[in-house]
Structure 1
Amino acid sequence: MYKILFILLSFTFFSVSSAQNIVLTGEVINPITNEGLHEATVKVLNAANDSVLASTKAKLNMIVEERNGNSTGYLDKNSGAVFNLRISSSFQDVVLIVSASGYDSVKKNIRIDSEKKRIDVGTINLLPVMKQRNLNEATVTATKIKMYYKGDTLVYNADAFNILKNESLRKLVQQLPNTKIEEGVIYVNGKAIESLLFSGKDFFNGNIDAALDRLPAYIVSKVKVYDKQGELSELTGRDMHDKQYVMDVHLKREYLGTWMAKLEADVATEKLWGGQGFLMRMDDRQMLSIDADVNNFNEERKMVDIGNMVNSYPTGIHKNKVANIEYYFEPNNTWRFSSNASVQQKEQKTHSWTNTETFLAPDNLMAKNKTFVSDKNTRVNAYAALRARQTKKWQSKLKFDFTFDNMRHAQDALTLAFWKRGNQDWHAWEVDSIWNNVTRLSSDDMLYTLLNPTLQKQKTFTYKPEWKTSLVLGGNPFNIDLQVNHNNVQNDLYNNYKLDYLSTQDNDHRRIYNNHTEHNTTVDATIDYGYKYFKNDKYDGVFTPYIAFNHTYGNLSHPYYRLERMQEWSDALDWTKGSLGILPDGEWQAICFDNENSYYSKEKKQTGSVGMRLSHKLTGLKRGNIQFDADLGAVLQYKHLDYQRNEQSYDIDRHAYSFRPTLTMEYRSNGKHKWSPELRLNYTGKQQLPDLLNMLQIEDYADPLNLFRGNASLQGEYAHRLALRYGISQRKTRHDMYLSLQYTRTHNNIVASSIYNTENGGRIYEMVNTNRTHEANGDVGYSLPLDKNQRFYITLSVRGNYRQNADMSQLSAATEKGGLLQQYGVTPNAILRGTVGNKFRFSSRWNTAFSTIKQSSMDTHYRETRLAADFSWDLPWKLQLASDFCANIYNGFADASINKAHCQWNASLARRFLSDQLSVKLIANGILTPKNNIYSSINATSRVESYTDILPRYFMLSVVYSLDWTQKSKRNTK
């Protein structure tokens, strides 16, 4: 009986399902002009008997504008002509036919997925018939449309931008209007891109920098920017409010399935050299990328650009060796496999000279430092992830990441310290000059000298397995996420510490050896259930209760040895870096063991969270949609530390209950009006317990100039953050404006309080709480084209920042604590980009940072101006000329040698041969002056000014050979 009832119920269910309808949607455009084809005919046929199931006409979007009380409308040709067809889900195979007068028809076979309510067939390109196509090409070549809106999607036409043959995707993205790249993040209209996709797939596993540098720009057809539904929405077939703001790169059809390869050799003056190899294949389902590079001219490169505009210079002189292989395979909606393996070795040598001024009353503490660093780091990384959809309503993902780091750090440092009492002649001397003449100075002039070479060897093993599964129950997703992170650290540290005073203070000479091991394991587990509680044409909501747990356990063994206690062995060695890495013979451990500074610790941290996430949309508004998001979680934090030092044990634990709310309101225009605004308001509250090491009742004298004292009364801090972002776009004229504001108030902010000793320049510091920390910053920008054809774009912006906190630095324990320290600045910025014809492209940038530090005893004003420009020019006879110029102008810095203009000019000339497969390039780097790096920073407590050497002026010859085999074979076949 039960079996018969079950069969009847199943039959009823599938009968109802078969009666459901599916909507086929898409757009029709002319790919030559990028204009939508209004009234194009769209038909759907039954593949079995060619009977017509449905037909319609593609329609352009109607734009309505109001001027002086009157409404006018026009069809937006810059967006695609959209069509929607409704058919029964009982058909499995259908044929889509799109036609228009004067255009070649397109026929497309479509497989119907009955689980979906809507199928997007994408963009249908209708080409004019051959005769008309030639005429159209002759008339529209000079007026290619750079960007347009297709509904809520911003589309850039890559062919409309001036891209040279050997340039990477990064060069294309940098030219896109209203787009910038900062610290590996792409911003469009001031909004950060969360993922960079290729035809909807994340081929590079979230590594935006790798995608920008490896892919050549000339194979790109379009770049789309839009909000993409997340995996939960795809799995459930319902909007689960998990959209991401993405940039989706679409390749030209002729390059899908093409093997692309490149070989490069570089040779330069100053004994500089490089070599590079690259192999790549990408299609709709998979991507394989292999690259290798070796060079010693400070570049970590994937693909080499013709004109490389340098925005910031690395420090030191680098030698880089890297090999990388990446594979991605997604044959269907069921399986997705991604993997990566890389080996990299970096060698760095850096000379730097630093002036540091610590703000104290009545005298500031000055320090001059000269440092030479030699580093050699090797990293091996392997990553693999497999996602499988066991059924149409259940998917799981397994991921494993392994990293091995082998680091060797050698440093030779010399420091001189003195109190600033007037301007002495020797203040402007180099560090070596003062060191050589230090015996001629009195104790009133010089406080101390410190010779401090260091050698460190460290090996780190990191393992990161992860399992995540999502199961649709009742049409809603149930998710489990489990992650483990385990690492082992093996560290050997040698340190010579030779501190000499010119006063009556006792000198301090130490030879230190520390061999410590560290183990850390973190386990994160999260369970949540997303319930779609309401949905109609006006309202849409998702309610997600969740439970999360974090457990971290770590132990550290830190034996500390004072090797100078073996006096005879120690006296036989000098104090320079040449004596590092040497240990005494025999039974030295017991003699040299420093019980006071050796310690062993075990720390456990646990965090449990219970809460709910709420997301509610109002979709029935006339001008747009409003979405409210809230994360309301109750959190229990627990920390326990077992610490042993100097034959004493310390057992300390802390716990705290807190409420961590995150509230967001976001408004988005529907894009049907002249101006399209977006507004986002956000509040976040977060509590954090203090580091238990800072609460121990100990005094650490391992560093004679920086003595640490614990503070048992230290409390946890709670940060409140408010953020606002407003953006508005005029889609017809391409005018865009944005405003971004953030404010942070930290209650019980944990900061370092310092008491300086006037006799020896050392300090005693401990972590304390303060309620005087406030921070605010904002950014406003406006971007617009300067001509009708959008060949020239200008972006104007102003950035401001303000920070205040209590002055926690004292000259002595008897000195009254300082007042309020304030730091604020304003930075106007202007960017001009343009193209002249199809051959010449340029960009220029100006900004000046005006900064002020206000203290109770003094105000400090300084500014830094940056001017930069670059261009690339495609000349006759297949010549390509490119150049970039950058100037930094400093004013108001303590070191007079910095207060001037520092200019950098580079240029290159390239010639292409063999149907553009071979390129020979001559590069001149540092034409005016050699590269250098000047670092300057002023905050509430100190001023730091540093000069670092980088590369000398050099001239380089590069030979690049590239080809794509698939296209070559196609041409031979034809």
Structure 2
Amino acid sequence: MKTNMLRHSLLISLILFLNFNVFGQKILGTVVDKNQNPLEMASVMLLNAKDSSLVSFVSSASTGAFEIYDAPKGDFLIQITYLGYENFWKKLTLGADAVNLGTIILKENTKELQSLVVSDYGSPMEFGKDTVSYNAAAFKIKPGDVVEDLLKKLPGVEVERDGSVKAFGENVQNVLVDGKEFFGKDTKIATKNLDADAVEKVQVFDKKSDMAEFTGIEDGQDERTINLKLKPGKKAGYFGTAELAGGTGERFKERASINRFSPKSRISFIGLANNINEQNFSMQDYISFMGGIGSMMSGGGMNINLGENGGLPMGLINNQGVQKSFAGGLNYSKDLNKKTSLVSSVFFNDFFNDLNNNATRENFLKDASYLSKILGNQSSNNLSTSFNLKLSSKISAFQNVIFRLDGGLGSNRMNSVSSDVSLRNDNSKINENNSIYDISGKNYRLTPDLTYQQKFSKLGRSMVMKAKTNISHTANDADLDANYTFYSDQLTTRQILQNQQSANEGMSYDLNAAYIEPLGKKRYVEFSAGLNDQNNKLNTDFFDIINDALVYNLNFSTWYNRDYINRKTGLKYSSTQTKYNWAAGFKYENSLLKGTVNNENTNIKNQFSAVLPELYYNYEFGNGHNFNLDYTTDMAEPSLLQLQPIVNNSDPLNIYKGNPSLSNEYKHNLSMRYMKYNAFEFRMFYASLRAGFTHNKINNSINIDEFFVRTMSPMNSKNEQSGSGRIEYSTPIKPLKVKTKVTLRSNVSNGYSLINNVWNQTTIFGKGINFSVENRKKAKLDVLAGIRYYRSDSRYSENANLGQFYTETTLFVEGSLNIGENMILKTNFDNVSYQQSFSKDAVNVPLLKVNLTTFVDKNKKLRLTAEIFDILNQNKGISRNSNLSYNEISQTNVLGRYFLFGLSYNIKGFKKAHGIEIKMGDRD
């Protein structure tokens, strides 16, 4: 049945893409310079003669040759551009025959072009020395589209279904607006909230670290970055969007984005409110809070676990629970003078989540297993405000100062009602816990950071010094009412009724300095030193509630002071050449961990030292063609939670206690990446290999007593290994006018857990394949369809017969259709199928969503929207979690079918701009 479904889905996708007029006209030619040398990567555009809109686009091959397939009949302009040469253009009338333009000689541009005003046509793509630049006007967008919609149309840029962005195979880590940070490093705020109509150019480049940018010496710390260069007219007025919608089940959605730009200052406001599980920003504050709560409920069923890629678990944004968000932010940047600039932002977030959970967990012993059935209801609220500021000043041609200030404050509350039953294989009860846990907390943090950069008269000689401080405070107040029962020969029932108070004060400083000396021929040696000191004071006071009175509990109350001092010195040699750059070096790191428990009744002192080698190599074969190798080592200290010797009894059947005697982990990480992007054929090949080895890996030691009460404590276990590989290949199929992409991935990990003093080795193998196909000409119809498949197998040394597997298969289709001039129909369909070894039947979740937009005025500023979510009413919140000691599958409450009706308005007010200014060359 599954095979038939896959066959039918792929057949439907193929029918959607096939255009039977596959034998259109072909345009041929070769681009050379005056000496008949071929010009590779010249941009060749076919433009509509009426409105100069882009019809087709290719780049010339290494021979200078180009071919445009499937050109329709009619009147067109052909335009060819190449950096440093004058533009070539010619009028064409296409009929039934192919057109051979022959050899086209581009003339060198004898004048240094600073800017060019173009009124009718422009180049869709420009390849500079370190930047790929897209002319947004060449890619048709619809009124109301945001930047994310524009990015989906750009060759080489991909927007994943979770909103993350890739450019030429690499994850985009920064999105800038006119070269300035926009709400910090949260990329989704810019891509999901800024109007695409405001963008003149999208520039893709590798942003260097502050140090590499200042010194000009590569350090391997580049981050793939997108810069949104706004249209000149947008810098002299205001623009934005306001949206309001309501629907069945009291569902609502409100969003606003308003921007006011001038040549020297920029101010942006974004706001949203909804109860349909949408967030157009990151969830870091909420994750941090819930991660802390999860650690206090480490054995229960209501914690949040991070997924494979360190992100949110599958479905949290749209599937887990019913969420309500109110958020708003203000971003302000200003050029104070020619040498000093300011970038700042403040963000407010009020987030609610109601989560019902039904989980089945298989727990592993030495040669047996038992089940846990977990039911729970969790209601949480996170109220937070965060801010960041960056002040940059170029004191002179040889000196820079950068000051950053980050901070935030918040309050949180969570109430959890849960039931946890452990069962033998015959379904007889072992133990049971019914508990109510209510916790509230407040926190604040402040992190000032100062960087001083100094160049000397000798070219390449430089010095960088950094000082950073972090101040934080967290206070929690919790009430626990737990009633637990042991089922044995004699029934035993107990109760914990407690008030639990905790406070954590943190203070740290970090000092770093580096000196670079040139050795000639673009070779350098770097000396570095650093000192980091982290101090925490953690007090935990437990009170038993007896006859409504608070009685202090000395057994569970703890005072813990921790001081972690880290000193490091380093030496690195680097070479930066035309085609390649590399660096090799090492750091010597010495750490001292001092701790005091219960007012010096217990003293802790551990010292660690290690030599940490590093190696970086990058080779550039050409534009879009490179190889990268990176080897790093790191000494990771235990977390405060793992060190603090505090018994957490919030779940009496799953008790957690820290271990102040933990040692540091020593990590080796090796990664290799290869990418080749063919701009002539729009083909991309990307391959990566990663390997990791961790000595003294910190894992939980688990002891399960005769009543199956689990007591967990962190310990340094045996070594852990991991590896992963990934291959991506995308290519157009020109006769079918489609683009295909296939991704193969695999991973393996090997670790150890200690259960009842018996080591159990766990090996996990994973493999997956993604395949997608989409049409290339998207003026009227935009369709993406494909399949994702992943399988994971777990094997255990002590109980090999309990090996587990799960599979996840997703069929998906996304479509957008322009109906006439004033109507747009969008649809999303996913069918997710889950299969797990300890569950007999597969779970299928078909999810269909449809959106219809109608423009009601001739300027297309006002539009009406109608949306249906989960038309089939089949949404299910299914998630899985694998651990060294258990496998779990859970189902949570989710949003069901709802209808949403709304309207939105594009806000525009500009001074009149004369033409479009396009700067030819690298990023400006």
- TM-score range, shorter-chain basis? 0.7 to 0.9
**1:219 corresponds to which residue?**
198
**1:446 corresponds to which residue?**
429
The worse-fitting range, judged by mean Cα deviation, of 715-724 and 248-257 is 248-257
Alignment of 1:545-556 (within 5 A): 545-556=527-538
Partner SS, residue 452 of structure 1: strand
Mark the runs of 5 or more structure 1 residues left unpaired by the alignment.
1-32, 41-56, 65-70, 85-97, 104-119, 138-143, 304-308, 425-444, 570-583, 620-624
**1:616 corresponds to which residue?**
575
**2:270 corresponds to which residue?**
291
**2:594 maps to 1:643:** no
**2:63 corresponds to which residue?**
73
Aligned pair in 2 of structure 1 residues 636, 419: CA closer, same or farther (>3 Å)?
same
- 1:641–1:692 CA contact under 8 A, matched in 2: no
Partner SS, residue 599 of structure 1: strand
Partner SS, residue 142 of structure 2: coil
- 1:546–1:610 CA contact under 8 A, matched in 2: yes
**1:832 corresponds to which residue?**
773
- 1:241–1:615 CA contact under 8 A, matched in 2: no
Per-residue deviation, 1:712? 7.9
Amino acid at match of 1:543: V
Mark the runs of 5 or more structure 2 residues left unpaired by the alignment.
1-26, 43-60, 67-77, 92-110, 283-313, 916-924
Aligned pair in 2 of structure 1 residues 234, 969: CA closer, same or farther (>3 Å)?
closer
**2:802 maps to 1:852:** no
Aligned pair in 2 of structure 1 residues 967, 377: CA closer, same or farther (>3 Å)?
same
Aligned pair in 2 of structure 1 residues 844, 322: CA closer, same or farther (>3 Å)?
same
**2:746 corresponds to which residue?**
800
**Greater RCO (Cα-Cα under 8 Å, separation 6 or more):** 2
Per-residue deviation, 1:765? 3.5
Once the two structures are superposed, residues 459-500 of structure 1 have per-residue CA deviations (whole angstroms, 9 ceiling, x without a partner) of 001111222221222343322211111111121111111101
Once the two structures are superposed, residues 725-747 of structure 1 have per-residue CA deviations (whole angstroms, 9 ceiling, x without a partner) of 11123232122111111111112
**2:622 maps to 1:655:** no
Distance 1:377 1:58 in 2: 66
- 1:930–1:951 CA contact under 8 A, matched in 2: no
Distance 2:688 2:389 in 1: 38
Amino acid at match of 2:469: V
Alignment of 1:676-755 (within 5 A): 677-690=625-638, 704-707=652-655, 714-755=662-703
Distance 1:900 1:319 in 2: 27
- 1:178–1:783 CA contact under 8 A, matched in 2: no
Per-residue deviation, 1:341? 1.7
**1:490 corresponds to which residue?**
475
Aligned pairs, number: 802
Distance 1:59 1:723 in 2: 38
Per-residue deviation, 1:254? 3.9
Once the two structures are superposed, residues 504-528 of structure 1 have per-residue CA deviations (whole angstroms, 9 ceiling, x without a partner) of 2532201111122210011111111
Distance 1:311 1:734 in 2: 35
Aligned pair in 2 of structure 1 residues 203, 389: CA closer, same or farther (>3 Å)?
same
**1:17 corresponds to which residue?**
none
Aligned pair in 2 of structure 1 residues 122, 792: CA closer, same or farther (>3 Å)?
farther
Alignment of 1:54-453 (within 5 A): 61-62=39-40, 73-74=63-64, 80-83=81-84, 124-125=115-116, 127=118, 149-181=127-159, 185-228=164-207, 244-282=223-261, 285-301=264-280, 313-330=318-335, 333-421=338-426, 445-453=428-436
1:500 pairs with one of 474, 479, 485: 485
Once the two structures are superposed, residues 535-590 of structure 1 have per-residue CA deviations (whole angstroms, 9 ceiling, x without a partner) of 3xxxx223221111111111011111111xx2xx3xxxxxxxxxxxxxx3xxx44x
Amino acid at match of 1:268: G
Per-residue deviation, 1:270? 0.4
Distance 1:58 1:750 in 2: 64
- 1:402–1:462 CA contact under 8 A, matched in 2: yes
Per-residue deviation, 1:752? 1.6
Once the two structures are superposed, residues 211-260 of structure 1 have per-residue CA deviations (whole angstroms, 9 ceiling, x without a partner) of 11121123333323233566556656888887553223333444342411
**1:429 corresponds to which residue?**
none
Partner SS, residue 870 of structure 1: strand
- 2:398–2:454 CA contact under 8 A, matched in 1: yes
Distance 1:721 1:38 in 2: 46
Aligned pair in 2 of structure 1 residues 702, 634: CA closer, same or farther (>3 Å)?
same
- 1:184–1:208 CA contact under 8 A, matched in 2: no
Distance 1:312 1:696 in 2: 32
Distance 2:386 2:564 in 1: 28
Per-residue deviation, 1:121? 7.0
- 1:823–1:853 CA contact under 8 A, matched in 2: yes
- 2:482–2:651 CA contact under 8 A, matched in 1: no
Per-residue deviation, 1:72? 8.0
Per-residue deviation, 1:768? 3.4
Per-residue deviation, 1:379? 0.8
**1:581 corresponds to which residue?**
none
**1:634 corresponds to which residue?**
588
**2:775 maps to 1:821:** no
* Identity across the alignment (%): 18
Partner SS, residue 469 of structure 1: strand
Amino acid at match of 2:571: M
- 2:167–2:224 CA contact under 8 A, matched in 1: no
Amino acid at match of 2:604: I
Distance 1:478 1:729 in 2: 37
- 1:58–1:83 CA contact under 8 A, matched in 2: no
- 2:877–2:891 CA contact under 8 A, matched in 1: yes
1:557 pairs with one of 539, 542, 551: 539
Per-residue deviation, 1:158? 3.3
- 1:752–1:766 CA contact under 8 A, matched in 2: yes
Aligned pair in 2 of structure 1 residues 412, 966: CA closer, same or farther (>3 Å)?
same
Amino acid at match of 2:738: F
- 1:347–1:374 CA contact under 8 A, matched in 2: yes
Amino acid at match of 2:734: D
Per-residue deviation, 1:697? 8.8
Aligned pair in 2 of structure 1 residues 690, 178: CA closer, same or farther (>3 Å)?
same
1:512 pairs with one of 498, 514, 518: 498
Once the two structures are superposed, residues 808-857 of structure 1 have per-residue CA deviations (whole angstroms, 9 ceiling, x without a partner) of 224xx6xxx35532110110111222244511111123111111112223
Once the two structures are superposed, residues 898-937 of structure 1 have per-residue CA deviations (whole angstroms, 9 ceiling, x without a partner) of x231111010111102210100011111101153321012
1:771 pairs with one of 718, 724, 728: 718
Distance 2:175 2:671 in 1: 25
- 2:253–2:274 CA contact under 8 A, matched in 1: yes
Amino acid at match of 2:559: Y
Distance 1:711 1:242 in 2: 35
Distance 2:902 2:315 in 1: 18
- 1:293–1:320 CA contact under 8 A, matched in 2: yes
Once the two structures are superposed, residues 178-221 of structure 1 have per-residue CA deviations (whole angstroms, 9 ceiling, x without a partner) of 43446775322322334323343334433211111121123333
Distance 1:36 1:481 in 2: 53
Distance 1:738 1:854 in 2: 30
Distance 2:908 2:744 in 1: 45
Aligned pair in 2 of structure 1 residues 231, 712: CA closer, same or farther (>3 Å)?
closer
Distance 1:101 1:835 in 2: 24
Per-residue deviation, 1:876? 1.0
TM-score, normalised with respect to structure 1: 0.76
Distance 2:203 2:194 in 1: 16
Aligned pair in 2 of structure 1 residues 177, 858: CA closer, same or farther (>3 Å)?
farther
The worse-fitting range, judged by mean Cα deviation, of 776-785 and 230-239 is 230-239
Per-residue deviation, 1:626? 1.7
Partner SS, residue 276 of structure 2: coil
Amino acid at match of 2:409: F
- 1:484–1:523 CA contact under 8 A, matched in 2: yes
**1:29 corresponds to which residue?**
none
Partner SS, residue 553 of structure 2: coil
Q: Which is greater in Rg?
A: 1
TM-score, normalised with respect to structure 2: 0.80
Distance 2:316 2:138 in 1: 25
